Structures are given as C-alpha cells and as structure tokens.
Amino acid sequence: MSDTVLRFAPSPTGGFHVGNARTAIFNHLYAEHYKAKLLLRVEDTDRERFTESSLQTILDGLNWLGVDFDAEPVFQSDNAEAHKQAAARLVETGHAYYGYETAEELDAMRRQAQVEKRRVRYNRDLTPEQQAAYEGRPRVVRFKVPVGETVWHDRIRGVQRWDNAEVEDFVLLRPDGSPVYNLAVVVDDRDMGVNLVLRSADHLSNTPKQIMLFEALSWMVPEYGHSTLILGPDGSKLSKRHGATTISEYRERGFLSDAMFNYLALLGWAPGDEREVFARDELVEVFSVEGLLKRDAIFDEKKLVWLNGEQMRLRPVDAVLDDAVPIWIAEGWLTEAEASERRDELMKIAELLQPRLHTLEDLKHTGYFFVDPDVYDAKTAKKNWKTDTPERVELMIERLQDLDSFGEGEIEGVTRTLSGELGISASRLIHPTRLALCGVGFGPGLFELMAVLGRETCVRRLKKALEVLGS
C-alpha cells in the first residue's frame, strides 16, 4: 500500500454535479491504481444551505458510480472545536488578528481600494486599548497575508507561483465563531492525514491561501493537483442552460453508471492511445497522474450517448433484461408475475434490442413487443401503405401461415421469394409489414422481430392492419 492519503470533500448544498463526480472518479482511479487511501469528508459547515436530501443525493451518486472509500464519512461540523483552536493559535502567533469592521465600514474600505487600485488595508495592528473600545461589537478572525509569493509544484500543472499581494487578508472565523472554508479545509486535511489533494481548477485560487495557513501553523503542506474545468459546448462553464448537469438527472434519463464513469474519466485525462471505451478495471490499470490534462474539457452529451450505447453492448444480456423489466412493468406492458414466467421470451427481446439501445430510455419505445398497435404512424403509412399494399399483405399472411417453422431464416426466405414473384423490391413488403406489426417505421430487423413475436401475433396484427388501414 502507498502512504498517500487522498480525500473527496463534497458540500451537500445542491445536486451532485458532473464536475464533482469527475473529481471523485479521478481520486478513486488514483487510489485504486497507486494503492493509496481515499477518504470521504462531508463539508457541512454551511448550515444555512446544507440539506439532508442533498447529502443523500451525493451518497447515492457515489454509490451508483462505484466510488469506494476506505473509511466511514467524516463530517466537517464534528471538527468545529479544532477549527476554533487553530484560529486562536494563529492569533497568538501573530498570523491572524481580530477584525471589528461593520458591513458599512467594509464597503467603504473596498470602494476606496478600488479607486486606488490596491487591495483592502485592514486594521491589522490594533492596540489592546483600541480593541477594548470595540467591546460588544461582533468580530471576525482574519488571516494576515504575508509579503512575498506562494509557490507550489502542482502534480498536474507544474510549478505555480502566486503573488501574495493579489490576496487580501481573509476571514478565518465568522462573528458567530463558525469557520470559513479555507480554515476548515486546512485543519481537516491535517487531522485526516491527507497528503495529496486532487481537485478541479476552480479551487486554484484557494490553494495559496491554504498553503499560507499550513505554513503559519507549522504543519506539513499536502501536494496539490488541479484538473481541468468542464465547459459547455459554447466554451463557457457547464451550467443548467446547457442541459442536465447532475448525476441524478443522467441516471433518471437511462444512462448507465459504467458509461458515465467511463465518460467522465476521459474528461481531462488521456489514456495515451485512441481508445475511448473502457471497463472500470481497465481504467484503473491504465490510469496515471501524468495523463491528467491541463486544457479544459468540453462536455459533449452526444458523445456520452454514443459511449452509453457502446457500454450497453458490453453488458451481459441478462443485465440488460434486469434493467428493462422494471421499465416494461412501469409502462404497464407486463406484470411482475409475467416477467418471471416469460423470462426466456423476454431474454430474446433483450438480446434483439441490445445492439440498438442508446440509453435505457429507449426501452420506453418498445411496447410493440407486448401490445398490438392501436394507431399507425401517419407519415410512415403515407409513404409505405399504397393502394396495392393490402393485396400483398394478404399474400404475405398466406405464406407465413404455410411455414413449417417460424424462424428468422424461414420468414426472410418467404418474404424475398414473394417479392421476387411480385417483381418488386423486398423493401416494399418489409416496410408495410413493419408498420402493421409495430405501428411505427422503426425497430429491430423485421425478420428477427417477427420470429420473437411468433406466428400467431404476426398474423393477427397483419389482419388488423388490413382492417384499420384498408386500401
């Protein structure tokens, strides 16, 4: 086992977004590949925005993606006393100070700083007498940013230099004594033994602040690695206006966890070859921190849909059926008892559908396997059901009824033979037959479909279409 300790630290204040999920996946892949330890910390100190439902959404999403941790979750709020002690220590050692400014005074100080194009100058060195004059006022603890620069070697981006003059003195404790993000993170990372932090580039501006705090507290500074941002197709940061952005939304829309894991792993990481479809264990095997990219990634839902289809075809057929049955039951096409009794038949349907599925949502458009059509797609009927079609369908019925065996090969044989006798292309029999059987102009290969439906169902549906569509 490596002595590296990583953490994934979500904040339960909203949905489990794809960016957070990708961070969890990168940490998981690193831990599995390098035999490191991965911990889960729930950053729940923002009690005004914290919700139990958000926490459950995150935990469910991590479980669905298969991201495992090496210990029970740590809740940041449970470490509140350590946060306060660290702030007190920073005050005692002169690295932090009490600030008494009101909101109005802070606004005036910031406006003046903007006019003079400099950072805000806070009252860092109040005497005991001056502090006594503020007795009764709410106060914060603010960090005294040192002069100079903060430098670190980023595991992804290389050497990073940050001019401390760009960083204002920042708050550590709010007036109510609760910790601000950067202090809580530093204390918790130290207490949990975290020595490598892999996270998104949107945390880059936090890193110099956290390094300053580690150094001021004389604690070992972890290594950092900042992956790319995830952008929408228009190049702006991914948001709701680009469509779905949370893991639960994609799960509800019928995407597979294997596909989402595979796709997010490739957003900001390159395996070193042209492969795009991976099983989880393959991703673990080929993952390397050197493969993590610096350039921002574009979230392409069309690519995700394609990859989902590829992952669908890698699954065992019985797994496809296990996903399909609840959907078919929910649509009212099956009962649970029927699903159990007809499993062999349903397995044939799943096998027929598997190569054509993009997402599990597609299964909601397969009712023609279970229910005779009541209506027929008007556009398809106009194109494929002509005045001479009924006569040909009647001949098709006769040939099907005369077959000794109702298999795919036999059905194709009589169809092509009949089309030859009539002097027409096979498509002029295939398309109206599909319409009659399914009510639509799309679906699996007709001969495979008919073999699964069976002779009785096919003949019944063809006769019904003759009655409804007529000539």
Just list the catalytic residues: 240
How far is residue 427's CA from residue 442's CA, in Å, rounded to a whole number? 13
| C-beta of residue 289 within 8 angstroms of C-beta of residue 29 | no
CB 458 within 8 A of CB 437: yes
Alpha-carbon gap, residue 428 to 118, rounded angstroms: 78
Q: How far apart are CA 399 and CA 392, in angstroms?
A: 11
The token pair that represents 331 in the structure block: 């649509």
Which strands form 196-200's sheet, in the order they lie side by side?
Answer: 158-163, 149-154, 223-227, 196-200
What is the secondary structure of 316-346 as a DSSP string?
-HHHHHHHHHHHHHHTTS--HHHHHHTHHHH
Q: How far apart are CA 291 and CA 434, in angstroms?
A: 49
Strand partners, 227: 200
Contacts of 80 (CB under 8 A, 6+ apart): 45, 178, 179
Per the listing, tokens 């709020």 go with 77
CB-based contact 227:271 (threshold 8 Å): no
Q: Is residue 275 classed as helix, strand or coil in its secondary structure?
A: coil
Cβ 58 vs Cβ 246: under 8 Å: no
